Amino acid sequence: VKIEAYGGVELGGTLKENLILENLVSDPNLPDYSITSDLVIPSGIECLIVEDGVVIMVQEDVGIRVEQGGRFSNFDALNREGFETDFKSSNGWKGILVQGGTLNLQNARIEKAGLSAFAGYQEKGAILITEGSVLEWKFSNNVFKESLSIDFIMEAGVSADSSFTDNVLSNAIPMKVPFQYLSKIRDDNKFPSEYDYI
């Protein structure tokens, strides 16, 4: 599905076909898309951001869920770089849950995520990557702003050979990752001036 309409296109529910998100509105302060209910990316489906400057407004207590075999990416595989993408919310949103799927995210600004947990999960996080998921390429140049719970959670059993580099974290508990992933966290990440622990 290629969306060519102009102005805050509403998204939500389970995708039936691949979804390509383009920069529809020239004003960077206005959303190109609005997620009004949980956006679910099921097996065999991709949701790809293919242009720079896409702004996604996420309604309160709504999130993005990538199921096993699904893929969510704002990454240009040919040039090996991410497009700048904004995830905004007025009152907070659930965040991104990768539930056995694949995530490839770079140069994203993730604002006010981690408001509440997804159904079936007790833990809240701006990004939660569960066992059996894939963190594709490297997680880099992402900015967490005013996260309402842990910025980045990775469970054991995630396929993640790549590094966690040059990200900006915001929460008092910025990260929760398996011990063996700590070596992938580079020194160029920026943590809050005061935080409780990793």
> What per-residue confidence (pLDDT) applies to 6?
47
> What per-residue confidence (pLDDT) applies to 162?
85
DSSP 8-class letter at 53:
T
| Sign of the alpha-carbon torsion through 129, 131, 135, 139 | positive
**3-state DSSP of 71-123:** EEECEECCCCEECCEEEECCCCECEEEEEECEEECECEEEECECCCCCCCCCC
Mapping DSSP to helix (H, G, I), strand (E, B) and coil, where does residue 128 land? strand
Mapping DSSP to helix (H, G, I), strand (E, B) and coil, where does residue 18 land? coil
83 has pLDDT over 90: yes
> What per-residue confidence (pLDDT) applies to 147?
98
